[in-house]
Amino acid sequence: EAGVTQSPRYAVLQEGQAVSFWCDPISGHDTLYWYQQPRDQGPQLLVYFRDEAVIDNSQLPSDRFSAVRPKGTNSTLKIQSAKQGDTATYLCASSLGTGGYEQYFGPGTRLTVL
Amino acid sequence: GNSVTQMQGQVTLSEEEFLFINCTYSTTGYPTLFWYVQYPGEGPQLLLKVTTANNKGSSRGFEATYDKGTTSFHLQKASVQESDSAVYYCVLGDTNKVVFGTGTRLQVLP
């Protein structure tokens, strides 16, 4: 069984540029999470979906960040105008449900904003 | 709201020493408690899961237990190896919320 895949693995931008991250979850997993992990910190939830619906995006900076999962499978996280403070690893995870279910993480996309 | 507190930011041990990492949590629901481990360049992966029903879990020589009375749960291993060097996160899962602790970086010296 294939795990969670993410692309690209690395991205380097100048401030003000846009970037998109793509995630392919494990087949059959209805729940998909996006986390931001700054260097030497724990993962911080940005948004999560159940199928195509956003369940919680309260921690997503809505002025510059957006996330979609149109068919309830793959997902895209986009930063419209990147800032140096966005430098972090962006992790995608999927699971069979919320709360008490194990999350399976992808390898992450390491973003550097200069 | 739900929260977890992981006080030990860094732990350094020699091989074959005993490991103990503690977390405290706060929730109004019936949580599932997890320990995830993260190696450099990888995403976190599940190490152990403990529910309010079973109180205890074990995997790969690690053991996790939780105490509802003190709202704490801990991770222990009798004899660590250099390959156990990684970051360990306690995680609280409750209905629609998942909260990660700040992580404990374990360094095991040969």
Per the model's pLDDT, the better-predicted residue between B53 and A78 turns out to be A78
What are the φ and ψ backbone dihedral angles of A71, each rounded to 5 degrees?
-115, 10
Average pLDDT over chain B, rounded to an integer: 90
pLDDT band at A110 (very low <50, low <70, confident <90, very high): very high
For the stretch B81-99, pLDDT in tens is: 999 999 999 999 887 778 8
CA distance A6 to A32: 12
CA distance A19 to A77: 8
Lowest-pLDDT range of A56-70, A83-97, B50-64, B67-81? B50-64
Residue contacts between A and B (CB atoms, under 8 Å): 55
Interface test with A, best of B95, B98, B105, B106 (most A CBs within 10 A): B98
Could you tell me if B105 and B10 are in contact, meaning their C-beta atoms sit under 8 angstroms apart?
yes
User: Of the candidates B34, B96, B103, which has its C-beta nearest A98's C-beta?
Assistant: B96
Taking CA B45 as the corner, what is the angle to CA A13 and CA A103, rounded to the nearest 5 degrees? 85
Percentage, residues of chain A above pLDDT 70: 99
Q: Supply the pLDDT for residue B54.
A: 62
Interchain contact, B49 vs A102, CB within 8 Å: yes
Residue B69 pLDDT more than 90?
A: no
Residue B30 pLDDT more than 90?
A: no
Q: Which residues on chain B are in Cβ contact (under 8 Å) with A33?
A: 98
CA distance A37 to A86: 10
Q: Supply the pLDDT for residue A88.
A: 97
Residue found by looking up tokens 């040969």 in the block: B110
CA distance A35 to A8: 15
Nearest to A48 by CA among A30, A62, A64, A63: A30
pLDDT band at B15 (very low <50, low <70, confident <90, very high): very high
- Alpha-carbon distance B105 to nearest alpha carbon in chain A (angstroms): 9
For the stretch A43-95, pLDDT in tens is: 999 999 999 999 999 899 989 999 999 988 999 999 999 999 999 999 999 99
